[in-house]
Structure 1
């Protein structure tokens, strides 16, 4: 059986054939965008149609002004504002985080009650300069991970702005390296395969990739694990691999979220040495979060301590020790135990506010307030006199450690958390007989 098309059908058919692909394109593009909005999260902000050029995001103002800030934090905020407005791109820091604020909506306590907002970050502003490693310290819930997620684009800030070096260029994958807390690895792929895949994704040529992988393997002592699948690796080796993947390709911005967690001391030393070598005197910079004060002192040029979502202080480690260290630690070791009580009385006479902390056999430890110790020359003169009078084996006078400064500042967050829990759990009411 044969069908014949009339003249009108012959005219319409080519038109439909050419129109249908355009209709398919518009339909599938609409479906794709709907799926991305619902399931895709917001990791890469792209043009909504062609998805090739970064889209400028509106900067929302903060609803409140910062109060009672440390002068160093205020100075860092001014430095951040100047860096944002600077037209000299060569002098711009590699990371600029300006007035970041992030709010989360909590669950309702009752059906008709309002949702209570939890503020994870308030007016957080800092810069990471070229060749610098900035350490971000804080207890759980202080806002460290939230700040990292805002910078990576995993979550959108309620207010504030982030500017990364290279983010406006044509290489959207090469400028940023990220070592997350969780080991984001393929269980079945070997260490070498991971390195090769990431090198290819970052656009390294085969010869350059082989040379870069060889350097990283040598620096992190991964030779024996190259052919092992990641599911067979220890936690420490996995952390080494995640760090290696984050710096592969020499990205200008690197974010290290608890990089040495779960590693043995030898592995930590190798990691810290690699971090120092990667960023010292280079055009790159890194933001590092950690719970280990030893890690911060080993690799960080500056340290910022977060308390209850706020930046409590920022500066070099020595600067923070001098500014927030309230006490000095005096340790003395006597040769004969018979001198202990007489020596204790003499220390209290010379340093009236001294508080004995510990005593282990012949070792005596005191905490001395700063006002009792300064000037240091006079304090050492007194201690030399004591050493000769009591024939001490040795003594040392040291400044507060970074850990002591951190714990002292973190007490503020503990008080805030306690007050918050009290407000939610305790309701006061007047008894009938009270006025």
Structure 2
């Protein structure tokens, strides 16, 4: 069921769209978390560290596919808000063809260059073998990741955030069962967890695709209208490529930080891997609130409702403050319990390092919340270049500070570098928001 976000109370509309989006993202995170927990418990710390470290490259590549789908979604939302259904059909068909081609290309390239990718990570020898066994199967799932996100963001552009959730819940449950079977029963190691993920990602992509075809019936799509439009592609390329660039810059920055973390040894690698998983789940509601606000902004931009965009900004800001405070308290207080979900209770050094990280970074989750809100706002408004600028500032300073602080402060210097990067990016975001909205008065 589509949701018209140009009418009704902004807070109710944004929350109605956000809640299924958030639950779905939690289940999306559970894909990798399930693998990590099962591997940590049944294979060992070295294997867990390898899979956790490998997640940086998978997140980087997934972010490219996610950014392409997210950028196209902003165009879908604007055209839907403007009721330009003929142009919308051309844009949908062109975007799906483009995303499928890119997904296949990425799948092939990453699979061919797997040894080179592993060598970039500076992993200790005892973890590199586990990472290779895991990634060679995960890389084949990128074609499914790309197509699932293409269909999911298409549905979300119409205000339907529930259907992608249903497919994620089903595939996540299936992933858990298959991972447990392959790793704990058949003793297939990291490869078993990766194969389980590959199979369930395929299920989610195919299932969501079939539903989307039926769901878009209100557009009265005819087979001859499923074409690749050069004019539509030019518009998609601007939004999608720039959004993908923004997403990949952020993930690439984390890859470089992961490389720095790996130089501290397997103990810090394992701690950072556990904390990264916790961060992903903790930040999911903030990320999804930003995505919900993006769809809200795009639809209202298409309808020419500048006043509603301002109201939505104020509402979203208040929600972020409350939501991030709750998340920060949970992460800070229960840091030891959260880390032991991934590592054995006897791994005291890993737990201690992880607690130190969480009790620095989690306090400042509100800063990240405002960053993703700004990303969503500028993306929905069509000001993608500003989002990219914010990402470069955030990641560039974070990397510079991390590599500067690490020799002096060790791993804690990396933690503080992340926080400072968030803060400076927020300052830029507030400045650019006022500048952009001043032009609309």
Larger radius of gyration: 1
Q: TM-score, normalised by structure 2?
A: 0.22
Q: TM-score, normalised by structure 1?
A: 0.22
The structure carrying a bigger helix percent of its residues is: 2
The structure, 1 or 2, with the larger RCO (C-alpha pairs under 8 Å, 6+ apart) is 2
